[in-house]
Amino acid sequence: MTSVVQVIGLTPFGEPDARLAAAVSRGGGLGVLDLGAGDRAARGALDDLRGWLPGRYGVRIGPQCRLRPGDLAGLLGGPGGPRTVLLGVGAALRCADLPSGVQVLAEATGLKEARAALGDGVHGLVARGSESGGRIGDLGTFVLLQQLLDATGPDGPPVWACGGIAPGTAAAAVLGGAAGVVLDTQLALLAESALPASVATVLRSVDGSETTVLGGHRILRRRGPGAPPVTALPDDQGLVAGLVGGRDPDDRLLPLGQDAFLAARFADRHRDAAGAVRAVTEAVRAATEDDGAARSLGAGSPMSRALGTLLPVAQGPMTRVSDGADFARAVSDGGALPFLALALAGRERAGALLAEAAAALKGRPWGVGILGFAPEETRAAQLEAVRAHRPSHAVIAGGRPSQARALEADGIRTFLHVPSPGLLRQYLGEGARRFVFEGAECGGHVGPRNSFPLWEAQIGVLLDHVAEEPGAAPDIEVFFAGGVHDARSAAMVAVLAAPLTARGCAVGVLMGTAYLFTREAVAHGAVRPLFQRQVLAAEGTALLRTAPGHATRCVPSPFSEGFRDLAAGLRAQGVPDREVWERLERLNVGRLRLASKGVERTGTGALAAVDEERQYTEGMFMAGQVAVLRDAVTGIAALHASVTDGAASFLERRSAVLRAAGQDDPERVEDRPRTPAPLDVAVVGMACMFPQAPDLAAFWAQVLDGRDAVTEVPPERWDPDVHCSPGPDGSGPASASGWGGFLPRIPFDPLRYGIPPASLGSIEPVQLLALEASRRALEDAGYGEDGRAFDRSRTGVVFGTEAGSDLSNATTLRTVLPSYYGQVPAGLDEQLPRFTEDTFPGLLANVVAGRVANRLDLRGPNYTVDAACASSLAAVDVACKELVLGTSDVMLCGGADLHNGINDYALFTSVHALSPTGRSRAFDSAADGIALGEGVACIVLKRLADAERDGDRVYGVIKGVGASSDGRSLGLTAPRPEGQRAALERAYRGAGVSPAEVGLLEAHGTGTVVGDRTELGVLTEVFDAAGAGAGGCVLGSVKSQIGHTKCAAGLAGLIKSALALYTGVRPPTLHLQRPNSAWQAGAGPFVFHREALPWPAAPERRYAGVSAFGFGGTNFHVVLAAQGGDGPPPPHARDEWPAELFLFRGKDPEAARGAAAGLLDLADAAVRGDAPWRLRDLAATASRRAAQARGTVRIAFVARDTEELCRLLRAAAAEADGGAGA
């Protein structure tokens, strides 16, 4: 019944986020939608998932869900329903209440819940550790997972680990026996998450130490000026459960765990859900294949060599337990490093203890445990004794690097307990290199973090440090502690620490509680028999909290119950906190000695034995959570063998099982075919710069709005008054048109690419803008500077472009002028560019692609192609072939053309192609020629199978490309129907798509009378022959809006078509008053849209065609398809809107005016072109600031562009009338 998926992604904070759940499933995991309260939003999200991913998702039903068995049959059953139902802890539903055929999993925070769930018939368990946010129990994930796996056995139901999970801990959990892991908070900041900005802001600012437990729930401590302290809320499970929520951290209790820091890490490192799933599964795969982890805890390992012991194992100092020389010698005889605990021992006791140990161990390695926070006088006396007897090692709890340095100077290798990543960074900076990372599962005084989140955080800090200082690794020694006691637990540590050992760090395990179960502990007087019987019988542990940050873990006993009763009574009486803390501390004095040694200190200061009755009722039996995992006595030799050779054997067996399971899995991602059928190439990233559209969002908004970007020629480009007037000899003007599509100002930061600003004057702008477009396209695909990693060695670049432009012409002029004048005239000599070492590459057309590959470190092929106005589709053709042949895995494919100089206008005028009216009226009977445009575009292409495997967003799928030449014809610039028809037929034949299925055709459509008539005639013939229905395909040309961008024209049409496929909107075409006579009104296959309209076809039935033809008789046609119904549609059809709303909050009008003034500098920079910020960027900034501000909204207005925004901001800041829109 159970289908095992390694990664389950649960929508965080009890919120039903359908897009996030769908993204997890599409990325290779199982997305689980938390139904929360089961309200209308949850039902709507469930309906979305049913349509997007029928049967490929799960739902979670928690205790707050109001859905009852009668509701579930319709919601969960039937076609498209979830394949998995996860029952939260405390959920009222049972397996019998759920539709048959679904896989049922149950969360468990302890063994009792797990057994009850299995008795109810669930198919698997989720071990929800106490580091998790929301409803929790006592056990951390590391220990709880061990408990459930031990209880269910190797053939039992699968168990998933939840809490503190990242790639490292996930690998440890799975190699330790888990079926997989659950991610929840880790997903909260990923690209697909719909988390409110206010919650995201909070999540970015926490590291997990800000959480507390109230009413059985781990939550974020209330923050903000008006938020009551958590202690003001009753410790009631039902009440707290009703206050938990993830929408508003000011009004709800945010269910954050100790692993909250992982949300930002996942967002920064993995970006989206597919990246997160892939990171976890790759970590598991790598661990399965890593033989080194199994050897890292064996005899002769780096840590054992560093310690001078046989094994990389230490017995941790235990107050009132590890304070005898005989027990220390027994540990040493077993090959480990013993530590004696000095606790608060005075001068005489410390000296005697160390003298006995030194004599008993006879030069062998041994250590001493010191409390760094002990009173100064006590610590000074202890250190005097330590220096006198020179143990080889020391470990300091609550210590500082300066204390460790003092001991190291005396030849005593010293480890520091480090409970947080912030302290670890500080300690590393101060030169410390030996550490103990002890999770809160330990016995005695506990730290603030459980093992999994602590270890994951600390390993991350060490890896960052080693990356910055590669030579530091061999000096770093780390003990992992807290829940380690056998082969399975040590194997998990070995896997988790593998990145450290691979870099040369020394790693070992430190145990305390496990030794309480040894015969030697009783035989050598470390503990009395009663103490051992207590830990053997323990089914749980208790935390005795004396003060904030001061808690002691022990096994339950009459004393622990009395302690809690006293604490509750004192607080109920209103006793001040400080007095409560002092009384509880006094209560603890002597209790551990009573429990471990069965003695107490009398009024005379002497020690006197007590009977077992008093030892039991008044003693505090300190032990860690390992106590719930063991119920039999063992020996030191067996214990040591289990965490060393036993761990290696465990890993070898488990790795073999996982490898065999992977080979038998028919759905393994690795087994998907890498070379798909022709062509099936995915467009996963796009960027462009076209007239009046500085970026992709602006271009698409312009297309949808039907705006014409053609303007009069800007005088800074060339002077129409000069070049559009008849010559002095009566000849015609150099240019028949003074109109065109010109790029707006595009901010370019040369330093971002390592280009000296002084070099810019020697580089063609087309090279720089191609570089910027390529970077943006990679960013859009998720592979930017802060995005996901990809194989740059198998990433190529191909651009469609042509040589020569304004800079090239100017350098040519400087070169030839001396041939006519003997020298360059003085006035021109100052203006014309001079040759530098950057000039040659700066002018070469092939360096358009070469500079991209160079600056972005792409090491696949790079080259340019020139097919005149079909160049960018020619680039698409060769890029697809690179991918299909398998010679590259990623291709950047671009088109770049800034040929809008007077020379270009003169050339087009010479062949009578320019429109005198300056408008491109594609397919209109009044069409009179081309309006020239310029532009740069780049798309990122991958094989569709690879894109789906990697969870990439897919704008569209290139199904086929057809190419042809006109052959012998009457001229090199006139269209030939036979050539165009051949390109179309080859494209559709190769794509396996009928032209009758195409719903959008982006034509070459230049606006020339002959060209449009020829193209429309050929298209009609091909579509009619395929049986296309009347009016089934929308025909258009983006040239009617931006002009003919020549080498970039094909990609302008492809990007427009891909966005139409992706969003389900068919755009308009401009300037169509009376269509060309070749159009068959009401009968032919084509219609024209004068405004953007929805595309009614389902995604899997959306197809588009794009044509580009060039002088010289070169023809290309591309067939595109939407990705299909696998996943949610985009949340909206556009990212740039006609206007943006701006809100400013404040406790008073002055504060709101200050907030408006604070945005003005940013807006001014955008208007000046000093910064690349767009109106929507500024609106997002204002929105985030408003969300974080206090007070009501006092200023609100709508702005249509940055200029208007500046005007309104100045008015608002000056308390003037904002005018229209305010």
- Kindly indicate whether the domain formed by 7-188+272-287 is annotated with CATH number 3.30.365.10: no
415: number of CA atoms within 13 Å, CB side? 34
Query: 729: pLDDT confidence band, cut at 50, 70 and 90?
Result: low
What is the predicted pLDDT for the residue at 665? 52
What is the predicted pLDDT for the residue at 974? 80
- The boundaries of every CATH 3.40.47.10 domain in the chain are 685-803+844-1121
Give the pLDDT mean for 938-962: 94
Query: 674: pLDDT confidence band, cut at 50, 70 and 90?
Result: very low
What is the predicted pLDDT for the residue at 74? 73
* Average pLDDT of the residues of the chain: 91
Query: 1106: pLDDT confidence band, cut at 50, 70 and 90?
Result: very high
Instruction: Determine the straight-line distance between the first and last CA of the chain, rounded to whole angstroms.
Output: 61
Share of the chain above pLDDT 90, in %: 71
Amino acid at 1054: L
Give the pLDDT mean for 815-823: 87
Are the CB atoms for 36 and 16 separated by under 8 Å?
yes
Residue 892 has pLDDT above 50, yes or no: yes
Are the CB atoms for 891 and 773 separated by under 8 Å?
no
Give the integer Cα–Cα distance in Å for 448 and 379: 24
Rounded to 5°, the CA angle 664-104-270 comes to 65
- Kindly indicate whether the domain formed by 293-523 is annotated with CATH number 3.20.20.70: yes
Give the integer Cα–Cα distance in Å for 266 and 273: 9
- The boundaries of every CATH 3.20.20.70 domain in the chain are 7-188+272-287, 293-523
Share of the chain above pLDDT 70, in %: 96
Give the integer Cα–Cα distance in Å for 468 and 425: 12
* Closest CA relative to residue 133, chosen from 274, 245, 280: 245
Pair of tokens at residue 748: 């370019």
Give the pLDDT mean for 263-280: 93
What is the predicted pLDDT for the residue at 1217? 40
Q: Which CATH architecture best describes the domain 685-803+844-1121?
A: 3-Layer(aba) Sandwich (3.40)
Query: 1175: pLDDT confidence band, cut at 50, 70 and 90?
Result: very high
What is the predicted pLDDT for the residue at 386? 96
Q: Burial code of 604-643, b = ≥16 C-beta within 10 A, e = fewer? A: eeeeeeeeeeebbebbbbbbbbbbbbbeeebebeebbbbb
Give the pLDDT mean for 732-751: 91
Task: Tally Cβ neighbours within 10 Å of residue 852.
Answer: 28
What is the pTM assigned to this prediction? 0.78
* Closest CA relative to residue 1145, chosen from 1154, 1133, 1132, 1134: 1154
Give the pLDDT mean for 131-148: 97
Task: Tally Cβ neighbours within 10 Å of residue 686.
Answer: 25
Residue 284 has pLDDT above 60, yes or no: yes
Give the integer Cα–Cα distance in Å for 889 and 893: 13
Residue 1128, strand partner residues: none
Are the CB atoms for 140 and 625 separated by under 8 Å?
yes
Query: 670: pLDDT confidence band, cut at 50, 70 and 90?
Result: very low
Residue 1059 has pLDDT above 50, yes or no: yes
Write the DSSP symbol of residue 1062: H
Query: 174: pLDDT confidence band, cut at 50, 70 and 90?
Result: very high
Tokens 């039999």 found at: 632
What is the predicted pLDDT for the residue at 1220? 39
Residue 803 has pLDDT above 70, yes or no: yes
Are the CB atoms for 1062 and 1095 separated by under 8 Å?
no
Highest mean pLDDT among 408-417, 813-822, 829-838, 964-973: 408-417
Tens of pLDDT, residues 820-869: 888 888 888 888 889 888 888 888 889 999 999 999 999 999 999 999 99
Tens of pLDDT, residues 579-626: 999 999 889 888 999 999 999 988 787 889 999 999 999 999 999 999
Asked which of 51-65, 215-229, 522-536 is least confident by mean pLDDT, the reply is 215-229
What is the predicted pLDDT for the residue at 77? 74
Higher pLDDT, 78 or 289: 289
Alpha helices, H only, 589-719 = 591-597, 612-618, 636-643, 645-664, 696-705
Alpha carbon separation from 272 to 264, 781, 955 (Å, rounded): 12, 11, 16
